[in-house]
Amino acid sequence: MANSRSAGGFKAKREFGNRLRALRGRQYAHVVGAAVNQHASQITRFEKGERTCSPEVLDRLIDFYQPDEEETDNLKELARQIWDSEAPWWDEFRAVISASYEALLQRETDATRRLDYHTVLIPAHLQTEDYSRSVTATAFASLGPDQVEDLVAVRTMRQRRLYEAPQLSIYAVLTEAALRFEVGGREAHRAQLAHLLELMTLTNVLLRVIPYGAGAGGTQASAFNILQYDEPEEPDVAFVHNVIGPELKTDQRITKRLNRLFTNMANAALSAEDSRELITTILRELD
């Protein structure tokens, strides 16, 4: 898994980018880019933490913005943390990881809590390998078997945070449909349901199911997840899932709306105990 130096690099990138964005203020990115010999898109990527600027570009940005001595020192220290950070654990799988997926992996690295809402799939951290292999092969039909296995390996390694420090807490709300779809065959389906029952014994996993009887009040078109952090200066971020991958949402108006939506979906769900009973019932029906 990612060590503290790689995780620290991601946090430093976000803070570095936020500080650059604050310095730019109302100036257009293309104006700043022209002044420091960078394309406007590069300026915005620096600000979003998607790209790392070189020492030369940083010097040009400082010369252009003219921040005070304290802010200059802050920028240089953050830049040093970024440059000194180690490659993340998923670096060996980079050939099969899209930009949007890497954004999710980066944001997830130092998150302490994850809220998941899913309509038809089991959340990634709660999937068995067989389940993950089946949905990955279907979603990425153009990939070869080795590439599918690499993506399954990435998902399996992400799941280690349920057991290893820094531990990730999961609060998952899913519909009954996600439990009833027979993914990967009957035996794989049974194994997945049994795995959910086992995971529900962990203190950092809360799983609740919206039954069919909840009606329209328990449905929402898109799956999404929200990542939360211990540090007060780290606001929630969200990822809305669609057919082309997870879409990052950092606008706090959107994340607040999704938090309210998650609360509404959770209110429509069964209690954890009743959810366990429903999963057990469905599992028995497969005998």
Q: Could you report the per-residue pLDDT of 76-128, keeping only the tens digit for each?
A: 999 999 999 888 999 999 999 998 999 999 999 999 999 999 999 999 999 99
Q: Could you report the per-residue pLDDT of 131-144, keeping only the tens digit for each?
A: 999 999 998 888 89
* Cα–Cα distance list, 133 to 119, 162, 242, 286 (Å): 19, 20, 18, 21
For the cut 80, the answer to whether the pLDDT of residue 269 exceeds it is yes
| pTM assigned to the model | 0.85
Q: Give the 3-state secondary structure of residue 94.
A: helix
Residue 54 binned pLDDT confidence (cut-offs 50, 70, 90): very high
pLDDT of residue 62: 97
Higher-confidence position of 9 and 266: 266
Q: What domains can you pick out in the chain, each with its CATH number?
A: 4-84 (1.10.260.40), 90-285 (3.30.870)
Distance in angstroms (rounded) separating the CA atoms of residues 146 and 151:
9
Higher-confidence position of 233 and 73: 73
pLDDT of residue 1: 53
Contacts for 154-159 with beta carbons within 8 Å, 24 or more apart?
154/90, 154/93, 154/96, 154/97, 154/105, 155/124, 155/127, 156/129, 156/132, 157/1, 157/89, 157/90, 158/105, 158/108, 158/124, 158/125, 159/124, 159/125, 159/127
For the cut 60, the answer to whether the pLDDT of residue 5 exceeds it is no
Mean pLDDT score, 197-224: 92
